[in-house]
Structure 1
């Protein structure tokens, strides 16, 4: 009788395991069945993600998530995140996808899949006008503030020899450090740097040099081919109809260059 019970338990565990694998492998069906998509969005990275005066989410990444959910025919659930928790939220099943200034990197591409890029992001080093910095080499002996686990963190850690990289847990912390004078140099996105310039005109902040121009993609779990294919088709269609460009222009004050879009969707 004991052996029979053990056999039944083994069969049950096998069935549960198979069900879990099937659920993971078919996230698109799960989303449609739940009539809801959970999207990881950082709401402290203006103008890509932020909250308005009524503490409601807004920003270009949020609007992209709203449009995607609408076209998929499901409700949107925002899973708030910071830079360091975007991918863990996806891997642990807390979120279905990531739309959160997620730049493509070889390291990230090993653990998640990326969609066709939906927007560009200029990554730069900026700081107080009086500091003479024009390249990575000029950062030796200086401190640079970054958001932890971002591409700016990676680029500066690997290439700014002799610099001290000061890491904050989110972009709100980086903004506060720069605006209040705790940090005189920062590695961040162009959009976020413009927010700092506007918040602290007395600091006379200026761009020092460009780190890279990133392609921002929608993050999807590995081995989710149907969901990734649907998102890729959706991104291409909304580049073609101009809706992604409209969102980008609304929040970033410029259009996505046509040659960049052509490179992405060819």
Structure 2
């Protein structure tokens, strides 16, 4: 069955309009953030290496460090608002967060509901499977089960590109999808290369190879619409940290590669 964000986002927008408390106009402005001296950032902490907790249960990851960097530049305290892949945009629309930094790829569909900053990083969407799996193209998924995290770009891509007869099994976040792989419930994963790398490091016996690259997407920081001053300030800080190399350092630390040249060029 085809899955789309449209009904989900439409329902959220309609519901918030009825409630009259969660429209984008209610989101904290830059002035309010500076007055309160707190930046609330929605981050999925079950999406390594973007967001996760270490052995000491401290929040870490490339998105966590990006949020920390921006809060520091603003001179305010960072408040991490834990979210899930499916709730990233609803959290912004319902003013539970000021911005979203959570492996959120920039898509035309999402841009109808929220605004995005200029790109600060990238994410690939791939199909991972055991080395000996006979998968070279999307058509090879016919008759097979593929796990993914609900509401993500990976979900959208596999739903759009997989052939008829593919069984797409959706979990609420990357952590539960990873558990399905490591527990042996499934062995084909629609996800990001960094998540496959984290999975392989955690459980080499269940290691997956990247079989198909479905897309390469730029990621942006989500900002509520009609909040242009905050968006402009976030863009200013992203440009600054692309130019001085801070965002590239963060990305390379967690993803073992530099940011693409076209993303770095945004800082010029």
Q: How many residues align?
A: 248
Aligned equivalent of 2:30: 28
Runs of 4 or more off by more than 2 Å in structure 1? 20-26, 257-260
Instruction: State yes or no: 1:125 paired with 2:127.
Output: yes
Cα deviation, residue 199, structure 1 = 2.1
Scaled by the length of structure 1, what TM-score is found?
A: 0.88
- For residues 65 and 27 of structure 2, what CA distance do their matches in structure 1 show? 27
Root-mean-square deviation (CA), in Å?
1.9
Aligned equivalent of 2:111: 109
Aligned equivalent of 1:9: none
Scaled by the length of structure 2, what TM-score is found?
A: 0.88
**Residues 46 and 52, structure 2, Cα contact 8 Å, conserved in 1:** yes
- For residues 130 and 228 of structure 1, what CA distance do their matches in structure 2 show? 46
Cα deviation, residue 130, structure 1 = 2.2
1:59-74 paired onto structure 2 within 5 Å:
59-74=61-76
Cα deviation, residue 23, structure 1 = 6.8
**Residues 98 and 218, structure 1, Cα contact 8 Å, conserved in 2:** yes
Q: Deviations 1:43-87 (Å, cap 9, x if unpaired)?
A: 111111111111111111000001100111111100001100100
- For residues 48 and 21 of structure 1, what CA distance do their matches in structure 2 show? 28
Aligned equivalent of 1:147: 149
Unpaired runs of 5+ in structure 1?
1-16
- For residues 142 and 40 of structure 1, what CA distance do their matches in structure 2 show? 34
Bigger helix fraction: 1
Unpaired runs of 5+ in structure 2?
1-19
SS at match of 2:212: strand
Cα deviation, residue 204, structure 1 = 4.1
SS at match of 1:45: coil
Instruction: Select the residue among 200, 204, 212 that pairs with 2:203.
Output: 200
Q: Which structure would you say has the larger Rg?
A: 1
- For residues 216 and 23 of structure 1, what CA distance do their matches in structure 2 show? 23
